[in-house]
Amino acid sequence: MDEKTELKNTTDAEVDAYETVSDKEIEEILMKYDRESAYRRIPGVFSVVVSVIAIAFSLFQLYTAAFGVLPAQMQRAVHLGFGVALTYLLYPATRKGAHKLAWYDVALAILGVLVMSYPVWNFHSLLIRAGAYTKLDIVIGAIGILIVLEATRRVVGIPILIVVTVALAYCYFGRYIPGFFQHRGASLQRLVSHMFYTTEGIFGIPLGVSSVFIFLFILFGAFLEKTGIGQFFIDISNSIAGHAAGGPAKVAVITSAFEGTVSGSSVANTVGSGSFTIPMMKRLGYRPEFAGAVEAAASTGGQIMPPIMGAAAFLMAEFIGVPYLQIVKSAIIPALLYFTGVFIVVHLEAKKTGLKGLERDELPRFWSIMRERGQLFLPLVIIVYLLVTGSTPMKAALWGLVVAVLSSFLSPATRMKRGDIISALEQGARNSLGVVIACAAAGIIVGTVTLTGLGLKLANGLIELAHGQLLPTLMFTMLTSLVLGMGAPTTANYVITSTIAAPALLKLGVPAIAAHMFAFYFGIVADLTPPVALAAMAGAGIAKANPLKTAVESTKLAIAAFLVPYFFVYSPSLLLLGNASWLYTIRVVAGALLGMLGLGACVEAWLITNTKGIERLLLLVGGLSLIHPSLTTDIVGIVCIGAVYFMQKVRMARKSAPTIASP
């Protein structure tokens, strides 16, 4: 909540002018739409216990980052042990228990620690037995799986719990399933041992990435919040775009792009910057639904914004087997296209409704901000530099965190106190719980694929359904990602879609990064699409708007950006893959921008003036034609959009021409 508090450290005049949202309202919205923020507030001695455990969790991660991680299974088991203990202490079993800590929560927290410690205590004996598991091993493993399932229900949600439970049932009952999904099945001992005692189940790649990379970047974000970087991003964005047509909406887009470099949560990003930008938009005349939708659409894109993307980006690097820097490089152009697409629709809406920006004397000065707080960019610069020079993401995050603390002392406005550092250690651990548990649950899904060969079966089925054609396969993949992403965290959603859809795209010749990025991208966009649309619902809560209408508006705002994944599948050069020339890449980017303009203008019914029915049809055809970067489709797209522009210019000229009175 510290970043949200920081966003509100404005003058009394600004508070009156922008009708800022209260801290209590922000907290209620986060608890309603962001499960990870819905933890109980524990009074008394247990509050101290939770703080100590959370700080110890962060210190353990910092120690292993600085001096070397433990063997994979030990590192992951300790990581998950901290995660389940805090989950059971902080997240109630039911809403009725939201304000008190029940005895069974404490019991489950202790049991979770003991069970996750079992592979650590018996690490060498388990290695020596080499798969010859005892009855005690199987009982402990079964309890461990149940502990993870209940933790998943509490902090991640029912949808992903259902998926994981179905996966486990599929492993066990596979021999009874008809058709191409049938497999020989797995005994209870085989199922438990595979999911709990190997690095292909709960302690698999997703949890490994969480225990080594993701936690440190979440902790890094918690430290940056203490320096006031949220307000810094808002002030920078205001100085750049606050005066333009529809200024506050454009500020929301730019701010969310900045915040996306340090935040991997669509909902938290929406609430963080939206508590300031949404009231500003409403003040200038934006409809509440549109104001909430702008912030939600922009904030959702933060998860694909380098250098620190959503947690799933780290998983992608491990799944594909490429350096994280390659994922960052490949995400740059798609991320810029996404935010440009949202920016275009915001601009068209502002022109259509005649909304103006803020007065320049109300806005902060860019160079004044940079002189006072420009050092807050240093940690991000350090991370990029270290990644480019070959350091691991773990070392980059560790040094970025150190520089964040040191650079804060360069100005009284950003200086961190001892209490801020301790609070950041605790908050970083709390913020990580959703990812830790989601990664453990996702490991079960990965384990199902390796145990049963499900990924190949699904890939073949998807290709057969699409008759071997790329475009239908992409559309099925998009729909799968959007459906699975409803209410599920991006981490788990990406694991599911990458195991279901990515293999199908790979079999059709799509490069690995493009296939995985496609699934990742639409898993994120699911936070905007009805009926769940968590980010849009959070934006509606701040804007006091109709939630469903806000979700529809957010989808419209991002509609042009929905084309971006299709662009980079058909043109991998947008991901900086292959040997395409810069001239070709520039041409493809220009085509993508024009296509998004056409589709955005079609949705908004405005290009340079109101559009008529035939003009909207031409804009739609032109926008979609530019998906495939061939000469023919490019010409069709340019001609269609150019024709609409020309027709509207002529119509405007006729309206403005002076009329001559008849004699």
Chain centre distance of CA 636:
35
Where b means 16+ CB within 10 Å and e means fewer, 429-464 reads bbbbbbbbbbbbbbbbbbbbbebbebbebbbeebbe
What does the pLDDT read at residue 20? 58
What does the pLDDT read at residue 12? 39
Radius of gyration of the chain (CA): 25
Rounded Cα distance, 304 and 335, in Å? 6
Looking at residue 415, the DSSP 8-state letter turns out to be P
Rounded Cα distance, 447 and 440, in Å? 11
3-class SS shares of the chain: helix, strand, coil, % to 5: 75, 0, 25
Q: Is the peptide bond before 472 cis (omega within 30 degrees of 0)?
A: no
pLDDT tens digit sequence for 33-64:
666 666 777 777 888 999 999 999 999 999 99
Burial class (CB within 10 angstroms; exposed 0-12, middle 13-18, buried 19+) of 184: exposed
What does the pLDDT read at residue 202? 95
Query: What does pLDDT average to over the chain?
Result: 85
**Residues 537 and 527 sit within 8 Å (Cβ to Cβ):** no
What does the pLDDT read at residue 10? 38
pLDDT reading at 471 higher than 80: yes
**Given CA atoms 515, 517, 518, 522 in this order, what sign does their dihedral have?**
positive
**Residues 439 and 206 sit within 8 Å (Cβ to Cβ):** yes
Give the type of residue at 333. I
The highest-confidence range among 304-313, 531-540, 587-596, by mean pLDDT, is: 587-596
pLDDT tens digit sequence for 127-163:
887 778 999 999 999 999 999 999 999 988 888 899 8
Q: Mean of the pLDDT values across residues 387-415?
A: 89
pLDDT reading at 473 higher than 70: yes
Burial class (CB within 10 angstroms; exposed 0-12, middle 13-18, buried 19+) of 114: middle
Least confident residue range of 249-258, 424-433, 573-582, 643-652 = 249-258
| In the chain, domain spans | 579-652
pLDDT tens digit sequence for 328-370:
899 999 988 888 888 888 888 888 887 777 777 778 888 888 8
pLDDT reading at 585 higher than 90: no
Q: Mean of the pLDDT values across residues 483-508?
A: 78
What does the pLDDT read at residue 70? 92
DSSP sequence for 51-94: HHHHHHHHHHHHHHHHH-PPPHHHHHHHHHHHHHHHHHHHS-SS
What is the pTM assigned to this prediction? 0.82
Rounded Cα distance, 159 and 486, in Å? 8
Rounded Cα distance, 573 and 432, in Å? 34
Which residue is listed with tokens 């259902």? 162
* Residue scoring higher pLDDT (243 or 575): 575
**Residues 34 and 267 sit within 8 Å (Cβ to Cβ):** yes
Rounded Cα distance, 482 and 120, in Å? 38
